[in-house]
Structure 1
């Protein structure tokens, strides 16, 4: 069975998929069998034959170089760029926790390290009309520890603290924070990171600069985050 880690964010478009790609690349380059998984992918384009292209999975695969088949990476792929509960209301095929767990278990049996990415922020609704499933409930039922991805810019103190407190209050272990879009020497960003560490007690795992192709953490330290 694999060791696992969940990647959540302070919201949409903070760089979760970009960070996940660099994480999986670091593991793959270290010679371990690394895999990627995501319960539901929204906002995907269609190929010439009309089939949906799972964009997040394709990005992670291309960046990391892992041989894992795209078909293993997500059981639910939607065209509309909405949260999965709304996308599935319009397109059909609502998220089922049992199907998510089945796919996750299959991946866990084949690989050494599984990095699972969430949709949006930690409270994102995965299904509402059938079983009313939220992202934090799924993470808890799968028994996963998390890393929070946040943009380093203005407003991140509030976003990080609220996300960390919500997760703490709901019994979700957090290993630390990855800050995206960091600019070395930027006094505001450096203070943001300091204040996030001070207010949450969480360590900074890595800082990602625009255009980075490597995560600035050793493979050994990265592996220690996985349970």
Structure 2
């Protein structure tokens, strides 16, 4: 395993967050991209970093792209190379180490860390978006949790609104706590439109009674324009959190 690492900016720790989720397709790319846009609009130079991505889209000319990488690229202002935003990409729609294996490759754990280090001196705040859920594999030996433990950024947990989310959220928070990582808070996301469900409206209150970690935003299903930032992610609280010194 690689030595413990903390990205530095000018010799001091770089500020950043590790955005993870209770599952895949919960909305963490949407949340990460919206926060990158918002912080940049507030004058805090911010970019997104996706350590590894899989599941390529292929256009008519045979060119590949990765939806999450493109979202972070646009949110970061389209001024950073995609290879900086995501240095390890794979074609098949599998967890990154499995997609890499099918391609006859292996995910380089040192590059996962070096990819964060490469942002040193370029941004004031780095938002790292994991691949899949908190314990999903990101290499043959590491889960997202292991990478987050190396980077030591505060963790922002995106959880799905709906029945079952209390169990999923509390289990994930418990796992984050066991690794001794600071928890920024929770975002509840309606990533897909849900039928009327009393559990959805009760989720924030019930979770708040069961965890000391703040619920920072509740995001309803989004039907607006691409790049639109929902009001819960345009709160001044995000700028305050981004400016807090990180030990």
> Structure 1 length normalisation: TM-score?
0.89
Q: List alignment gaps of at least 5 residues for structure 2.
A: 1-8
- Matching residue within 210, 217, 223 for 2:242: 223
Considering only aligned residues, what root-mean-square deviation do their CA atoms show, in Å?
Answer: 2.2
Runs of 4+ in 1 over 6 A off after TM superposition: none
Distance 1:68 1:45 in 2: 20
Larger helix percent: 1
1:114 aligns with 2:140: no
CA distance in 2, matches of 1:76, 1:32: 27
Which residue number corresponds to residue 194 of structure 1?
A: 205
Tell me the alpha carbon deviations over residues 59-113 of structure 1, each in whole angstroms, 9 at most, x when there is no partner: 1233453522222101111111111121111013322221111121011331111
Q: CA shift at 1:222, angstroms?
A: 4.3
Residue of structure 2 equivalent to 1:149 = 158
2:101 alignment counterpart: 89
- State yes or no: 1:36 paired with 2:45: no
Report the TM-score when normalising by structure 2. 0.82
Q: Distance in 2 between matches of 1:88 and 1:9?
A: 22
- Give the length in aligned residue pairs: 223
Q: Give structure 1 stretches of 5+ with no counterpart.
A: none
Q: Deviations over 1:164-192 (max 9, x none)?
A: 01111222221110111189x97422311
Distance 1:48 1:104, change over 3 A: farther
| Equivalent residue number for residue 3 of structure 2 | none
